[in-house]
Amino acid sequence: MSADLKSRLIEFSLGEGFSKCRICTPSDVPQIADRLAEYVAKGRHGQMGWMEQRMNWRGDPTALWPEAKSVIMLAETYTPDHDPMQVVGMPDRGAISVYAQNRDYHDIVKKRLKRVGRWLIEQSPDTQIKVFVDTAPVMEKPLGAAAGLGWQGKHTNLVARDLGSWFFLGAIFTTVEFPTDEAGRNNCGECTACLDACPTGAFPAPYQLDARRCISYLTIEYDGPVDLELRPLIGNHIYGCDDCLSACPWNKFAAEAKEIRYAARTELLAPKLADLAILDDAQFREMFSGSPVKRIKRGRFVRNVLYAIGNSGDQGLLDTAKGLVEDADPVVADAACWALSRLTS
């Protein structure tokens, strides 16, 4: 019965817009508790203090919900139709990572997961489900790899031969006991393209990331003034970073994004730093309404824009930096002074 239900589930989830659906059990990732503990013990999570909480659940999905028998892992593609590295070579523009150039995936994926979950309950009414995307104490990458969606590449994200690197993950834990899939086979081989592409040297070893050096962490998660040593390495990244993902040769086989709401808004492809730096609170909220960028608020965003201005070498941006040296937000004012000193030195 579950084998038939599984093939109908896959069909339904693909029909709903997911690109791939694979299944594992909650006990298929025994290695993650130790690896998570090591990551946290080394302080690699930086200010993401929530990672230290509920470590027993995060490191062991069987403890999170003991009644769950299967974990349905789903891939949601957001493959860009442009080269994300193009803007990285334009110093007077800001680079916003591909996933944030339009609508927030959390809302879209969660709704889709719930629709699949509801369908499953309709098929087998005693079923219970819990859906997760991103924010819960669930390590989605190792679960996705165990289920066979792909493998954890040396950049630590999941890669697949048929999807490349551009896909989000969603999980449905369920009490249904489904037949499971084979874990994803690692196809990185001798390749080190992602490790070599990282501007900040954030990989202490292949398959391991020190978030404290990662531009994605520094621009999205990190609160306060960024270390002086790291600021020049951030380049013109103002929200997230895709350099390691973009370098992956498996992207040649990337599946097209199925969801139009991830297609880049034209004005977010290569926005002018000069226009972004002068956004006030209300303008910032309006410009990024519905986008994940809104989450970091005006202060952190303008801080990032000012680091990019400092890295631009563009004297035409001097006045923009000058205009912010007395900003009410001390982190913005500090970033403006830094940008000014870089541009004039």
**Active-site positions?**
134
> Min. distance of Cβ 337 from ligand B12 in angstroms?
27
Q: Give the one residue of 13, 25, 97, 236 binding ligand B12; rule: CB under 6 A.
A: 97
Tokens 């019965």 sit at which residue?
1
Q: How far apart are CA 19 and CA 258, in angstroms?
A: 8
If the CB atoms of residues 156 and 180 are measured against ligand B12, the closer one turns out to be 156
Instruction: Tell which positions 194-213 bind ligand SF4, by CB under 6 A.
Output: 194, 197-200, 202, 209
308 lies in the binding site for ligand SF4 (CB under 6 A): no
Q: Give the one residue of 16, 60, 181, 221 binding ligand B12; rule: CB under 6 A.
A: 221
Instruction: Tell which positions 242-301 bind ligand B12, by CB under 6 A.
Output: 242, 244-245
Q: Where are the alpha helices (DSSP H) in the chain?
A: 2-16, 32-41, 55-58, 61-64, 105-123, 140-147, 193-197, 215-216, 243-246, 273-277, 281-287, 297-312, 318-322, 330-344
The CA-based diameter of the chain, rounded to the nearest angstrom, is 71
Strand segments (E) across 167-227: 167-174
Q: Residue 169's binding partner, choosing from ligand B12, ligand SF4, none, with beta-carbon cut-off 5 to 8 A by kind? A: ligand B12
DSSP-based three-state secondary structure for 71? strand
Q: How far apart are CA 96 and CA 1, in angstroms?
A: 46
State both tokens at 103: 């609508």
Residue 146: other Cβ atoms inside 10 A: 27
Query: Which amino acid does the sequence have at 104?
Result: D
336 lies in the binding site for ligand B12 (CB under 6 A): no
133 lies in the binding site for ligand B12 (CB under 6 A): yes
Q: Residue 35's binding partner, choosing from ligand B12, ligand SF4, none, with beta-carbon cut-off 5 to 8 A by kind? A: ligand B12
155 lies in the binding site for ligand SF4 (CB under 6 A): yes
Binding mask 239-258 for ligand SF4 (x = CB under 6 A): --x-xx--xxxx--------
Cβ atoms 24, 73 nearer than 8 A: yes
Number of residues binding to ligand B12, judged by CB under 6 A: 36
If the CB atoms of residues 142 and 299 are measured against ligand B12, the closer one turns out to be 142
Residue of 294, 311, 266, 258 lying closest to 108 (CA atoms): 258
Residues that bind ligand B12 (CB under 6 A): 32, 35-36, 39, 48, 97, 99, 133-134, 138-142, 152, 155-158, 167-169, 207-209, 211, 214, 216-217, 220-221, 240-242, 244-245
Residues that bind ligand SF4 (CB under 6 A): 153-155, 159, 188, 191-194, 197-200, 202, 209, 214-216, 241, 243-244, 247-250
